[in-house]
Structure 1
Amino acid sequence: MRRLALLLFLAFFWLPLQAAQLAVVLGGEEGAYREFLGTLKGAVGGSDWQVSWEGSSEKFQQAPPAGVDLIVAVGSQAARVALARADGPPVIATLLTRSAYETVRAESPARRSGITALYLDQPLQRQIAFIQRLLPDNRRVMTVVSDKLADQLPQLKRLGNAAKLSVDTAVLNTGDSLVPVLERVLGQEGVYLALPDSVLYSRDNIRPFLLTTYRYQRPVVAFSAAFVQAGALAALHTTPAQLALEVAQWINRQRPGALVLPPAQGPSRFSVVINTQVARSFKLTLPGEDEILSSLSAAAGEKP
């Protein structure tokens, strides 16, 4: 009886301490995925959650983990396989654009609830504020998007007009060539805002895009550090580690067994990167990265 009483006592106090099980599905093996995973594991350590399974999309498809309370799907392919099971646990999709997330959801045969996303896309209002701080004398913003992002253009125009910026846009329809459509908006001085659009900025399009904008002497504000390294003037972007920290905050606020996922949204953490060589070629004197970052963060009450 004493032994039974001891076992019941231990069970009573041990069960609440059991961490909820978290699976992380990685859409690739590149450094960005590993950076995300390492940061996430460190950020949830010591909480009510633990990463009990991690692996590739292929591994997940072949042998989905059992007894998992929540899945973090990192990348489009990871989100695709995580959503393929109608009876699976809730999913947080991240390290993907809003457009990619919506495509994956539309393609999912399950079409189930219990899913949210932390996009890579920066809020448009933050993008406009970034352009104003980067180039305060600029009065015009231009952009081209595919039809997948065309629904964002009315909001972009409203935000630009509110900031006393002229906004010129064009839509690249299926079958169109990029350069002729791009040249429609490059005729007047201004800043080109590149929104995260896999149709426009594919590997084959990046070089002709940057050559065309440079020929017209239009600086490009982009959405990734890699884009800046390729020749864009600057970017407002969120790193994999920053996404992981934000996802960890979401998870750590959840009580196992009583999940309340936030709505799909863009990140609150962000970074600024400037290509100083491109700035010199355009004869631009720009504020420093830290100055812009601090100004944006203070104005919005957000976390860099």
Structure 2
Amino acid sequence: MPVKWLLIAAAAVHLAAASSPPEPITTIDVGVRENMQTGTVQPPLPKLTAEQSERINFGKYAVPPTLQSLLDLRQELGDPERLYDAVYFFVNTENFRYFSTPGDVVVFGNVGVDGVHYGFLTDYGTVTDLEEAPIVCISPMDFDRPVRIVAKNLKDFLRLSLTDANLVLNPFGTEAEYLAAQERWAEEEKASPYQRTEEEKQARLEVIHELQKRISLPELGLSAFSYVQKTSEERGRQVTIRTLDGLGVTTPLEQGRLHEEFKVSKDEPIDLSKLKAYLAGAPRASKLALLRDLQITRVLPNEKELQPLLLEEMQLLGLKDEAARIQASY
């Protein structure tokens, strides 16, 4: 399903549902769905209030000014659909996540289709201010690589979304592939039955104008495609250990220590006794890399022995916020 259609379909679905109160977004519901898809039914976790869910999502961090401006604008517009029509995502500060959402991501928005959502990558709590945190796109249905860094910070992300939201949602190997997709989407949009009226186009421009009055968005300085590519390349130079999800870890290895890899795959069972021995002596950076690899290769709610072991290790590593996000999501 081309993402251009995904965006149009999402808008149509939500506009059609606008006359009835929206269902509350709860992390508990997401967890239950994931378990049912794999045939495993677990006792439901206590239902969280929106305030509790937001507190778990943000952990030690405050809501950054740019995100607060978006929240204020959404409130003043009175209808979340109006802001969605401008930026193509729903602003969401609750702990909305799937099993593939990294524990060190603070979620701030979701597309409304296929579980796609966006968040601040905190690099296991080392980012000091979410205003400057890298932005990731999580696509749970993309099983090969569900997580990608798409922008250096939230302001750049907003500029990118206003330039071409499809580029945020889709990975492209080359600019030629991207340009070809743009042409194809343009033709599909012309043939689409979901066309904006002139009034809807004007309403969207008014929201964008108001957003830009409140938030000073930088120019990317490059083509949108080149910006995304450069951001990905810069991330690659920052990581100390590469991981299966493509994010890597930026924590440096202790002096005199080398990376100790604990290999995992989707197809091989994990020897818990070997894992415990590994966790007892591996460098911190190596353990963080393993956490990423395990989240991308395992549905942790179904791992009755592995998940408690990992949550305990995260507590020992001082990753209380990250552990709480994962535990409250399933």
- What is the TM-score when the length of structure 1 is the normalising length? 0.33
Q: Which has the higher helix share?
A: 2
Of structures 1 and 2, the one scoring higher in RCO (CA 8 A, sep 6+) is 2
Greater Rg by CA? 1
- What is the TM-score when the length of structure 2 is the normalising length? 0.31
Q: Which has the higher strand share?
A: 1
